[in-house]
Amino acid sequence: MMMKLRYRLVGLCCAAGILLVGPFSFAQSQRRGAVSIEEDPLEDRLPPGIKVRAFIHRPRVVEPNHLGTCTATTDATVTDYGLAGWHLPSVGIIWKLNESSVPASVGSSAARAAVTSAFDTWSAADPQKIFVDGGSTTVKAAKFDGTNAILWKRLSPSTIGVTYVWYYTATGEVAEVDTAFNSRYPWAIFSSSGECQSTPDAYDVQDIATHEFGHWVGLDDLYSDADKDLTMYGFGAGGELKKRTLGTGDADGANAVAP
């Protein structure tokens, strides 16, 4: 009788464990799956009045040696957007590129041009969104250190890129932002002919950067199928170029964020 009771208790505990772990697994993967083992910016001690949030960009289906499936635009007039809860300083924000981390397949000059074009896309939607090229940095990882860094580094296999936003809770103003692209994967800058490219099999720097910089602006990820043609759609794909151009909801969202 005691043995039967013990087995029943173990079974109940296991079942309860499944129920408890399920809701937290995605958050935990967001919290720890985007960074290398030796670091986690979400665990760093921060000054009072500052919080941090991470956004992880992934392919919709995570498979070995698969960068995601690119689909052509069918409706970019969707008006959806989500506000993350912060805004850029009214004077703008200065960004720096770690040129030594840029993949050889891209090159530092081309990477800087692609990053600039991605920022310009948001400024064109709202001229109050000001991004200033501050040159180069040697920062090798995302951390709250006073530098708004853009870099490549080795991230989780399920991650295309990750953006960390530190912000002041009292004012909602951005204190710092870092974006890291996953150096595990191939990267390229494609020609602008066609929204889905297949050669090479790589992620497009400008496409992914434009999505990531939407978080700098103050926008959240979107995951509804209706939003799949918007720049802020939370999944990405190799050879995809459509995120380079904002949809209606993206532009509306940029203008809804102060300043």
* CATH code (residue 147): 3.40.390.10
Cα distance between residue 136 and residue 75, in whole Å: 38
Task: Give domain status of residue 58, yes or no.
Answer: yes
Residue 30: inside a domain? no
| Beta carbons of 97 and 140 less than 8 angstroms apart | no
Residue 29 within any structural domain of the chain = no
Query: Which residue range is the domain that position 250 belongs to?
Result: 49-256
Read off the pLDDT band of 156 (50, 70, 90): very high
In a domain, residue 21? The reply is: no
Higher confidence at residue 182 or residue 11? 182
Cα 139 to Cα 146: distance, rounded to the nearest angstrom:
10
Is 122 inside a domain boundary? yes
Within a domain: 75: yes
Distant-in-sequence, close-in-space partners of 39: CB < 8 Å, separation ≥ 6:
141, 143
pLDDT one-digit tens code per residue, 90-145: 999 999 999 999 999 999 999 999 999 999 999 999 999 999 999 999 999 999 99
Average pLDDT over residues 27-43: 55
Strands 174-182 and 93-97 come out as: unpaired
| Count of domains observed in the chain | 1
Question: pTM for this structure?
Answer: 0.85
Q: How many residues does the chain have?
A: 259
Assigned domain for 1 exists: no
Q: Name beta bridge partners: 162.
A: 56, 180
Cα-Cα-Cα-Cα torsion 159, 192, 196, 153, nearest 10 degrees, comes to: -10
Please tell me the predicted confidence (pLDDT) of residue 218. Answer: 98
φ and ψ at 235, to 5 degrees? -110, 145
- Beta bridge partners, 165, equal 53, 177
The mean of the pLDDT values for the chain is 88
Of 162 and 27, the one with more pLDDT: 162
State the Cα angle at 138 between 158 and 240, rounded to 5°. Answer: 35
List all residues 6 or more positions away from 246 whose beta carbon is below 8 Å from its beta carbon: 121, 122, 125, 210, 230, 231, 254
Predicted pLDDT at 192: 75
Q: Is the pLDDT of residue 26 over 70?
A: no
Name the strands in the sheet holding 131-136, side by side, starting at the edge strand that comes first in the sequence.
131-136, 93-97, 149-153, 174-182, 161-168, 50-59, 235-236
In a domain, 243, yes or no: yes
Tell me the per-residue pLDDT of 163-181, one tens digit each, with 9 for 90 and over: 999 999 999 999 999 999 9
